[in-house]
Amino acid sequence: MPAQREVILNVNVLDVGFHPSAWRAPDLHPTSFIDPNYYTEVAQIAERGTLDALFLADGPALREDPAVKPTRALEPTTVLGVVASATEHLGLIGTASTTFNDPFDLADRFLSLDVVSGGRVAWNVVTTFHAGTAHNFGRSRIPDRESRYRRATEFVDVVTALWESATTRDPVHHDGEFFHVHGVLPVPPSPQGHPLLVQAGGSPQGRTLAGRSADAVFSAELTLDAGRQHYRDVKDVARAAGRDPQAVKILPGLVTVVGCTEAEAIARYEDWESKAADGFSAERLGGMLGIDLSSLDPDRPIPEELLRAPVDPTFPGSLGFREAVVRLALESRYSVSELLRKAGGFGHRLVVGSPEQIADTFEEWFLAGAADGFNLMPDGFPSGLTDFVDHVVPLLRKKGIFRNEYAESTLRERFEGAPLPVSG
C-alpha cells in the first residue's frame, strides 16, 4: 500500500523576513542578516517543526537600499554549510545563477556541500534578470530572455552530466553553444547521488525547463484556479519529456502572518505596514508589472488597458510574477491598495490569519491539485517561523497531511517521486 501523500514545506529565508520592515523586530539585532548564528537559529526552528528544507535566494548584486531594509549579503552555499553543521535532517536549497556562474565550478561546489551534509542539498536554478548585475561581471547588459534560457538549459545539462560522472567516473565530453567541458568531477557521489534541481522561473521558457529537468518548481500563483492551471502545465511538460509527472513537485510561495486570532494577525500585519518605508511595496509591485503605480489612484483598480498592454520585449522582470499579478488584478478588479495587500507587494500570495485559517489554506491548495507543498515565507524571523511551527504545524499533522517526524535520510527520498539515482 503506497505511503500517504504529505505536503512538502520549505522555509524561504529572505534576509530577516518577507515584510520590508521585519528588520525592525525587537528580537533581532542590526546585523542579524550577516550573522551565521541567526541562520543557525532559524534552521533549528525549522528542523524542530520537521520542515523539509531551508531555502536561500540569491542575486549577485546589491539590489536593495540598505537604508530601507537589509539585503542578501552572504553567499548561499557558505551559509548552507554553516546550517548543515548545526542540523541533522533539514534540507539545504541554495540559489545560483546560470547566467553568472561556470557549470564545472557550480557542480563541484554544490556536490561537495551535498556530500558533507549527507545528501540534503538542492540547487535552485535561476537565470538572473536584474540589469545591474551585468556590470559586476564585466558585461554591458543582461542577455535577452531567450539567450538566458538557452544558456540555462545547456548549463543544467552540463552540471547534471558532471554530477553523474561522479558516480560513473566516465568523462564528460560536451561541446555546445555556450560551454566546452571535458572531464570528470573529483568529488564522490553523495548519499542521494547528487543534489536535486529546483527551478524558480514562471515564464514559458522557465516552465519548459522545469518540466524537462526540475525535481521541484518554486511557483508564484496567487489564485487557486491559476495554481491548478500552472500545476497541470508543468506536469504536462514533464510527461511530454518522458518523465513521471509526479517527479516534479509544484511548490508555490506563500507569505504568512500568523496570529492567535484573525484580528491579532491583522494587527501584526498593520504594525509591519506602519513601519515600512513609504511607497516601498508599491514601487516593488509596480516594477514587477512594468507600471508606475504611484501615478494611479490607490482606491481604484489598475486600468485594464495598462494590464492588457503587450509586454515590452525588453521587460527585465520575471514574466511569471507579472502574469500572476496581472491575472489576479483582471479577475478580481481589486483596487491598487487591495492588490498590494493580496500580492504582498512582491507577487506571492499573502495569508493573514489564525493558525486554523492558514492550515486550511495549505490543505485546500494541496488537495485541490494546485500544489504539492509550499515555500513558506514568514513575515519576520524568527518569530513568524516560530509561530508557524508551534501553531500551524500541529494542525497540518492533525489533518494527516504533514509528518510527525523525519523518516528519510536524504532530501531526494523526502521529495516523493524523486528516487535515488542508480549507480552506473
Binding residues for FMN: 58, 95, 149, 203
Q: Which of 82, 74, 95 is nearest to 10 (CA)?
A: 95
Pairing of strands 180-183, 196-199: unpaired
CA atoms of 348 and 321, how far apart (whole Å): 8
Q: Identify the DSSP state of 371.
A: -
Q: How far apart are the first and last CA of the chain?
A: 30
CB of 264 within 8 A of CB of 253?
no
Phi, psi (rounded to 5 degrees) for 339:
-65, -40
User: Which segments are annotated as binding site?
Assistant: 58, 95, 149, 203
Length of the chain: 424
Give residue 343's identity as a one-letter amino acid code. Answer: A
DSSP structure class, residue 301: B
Output the CA angle 111-116-117, nearest 5 degrees: 95
Measure the CA–CA gap between 279 and 291, rounded to whole angstroms: 14
Among 28, 413, 73, 105, which Cα is nearest to 247's? 413
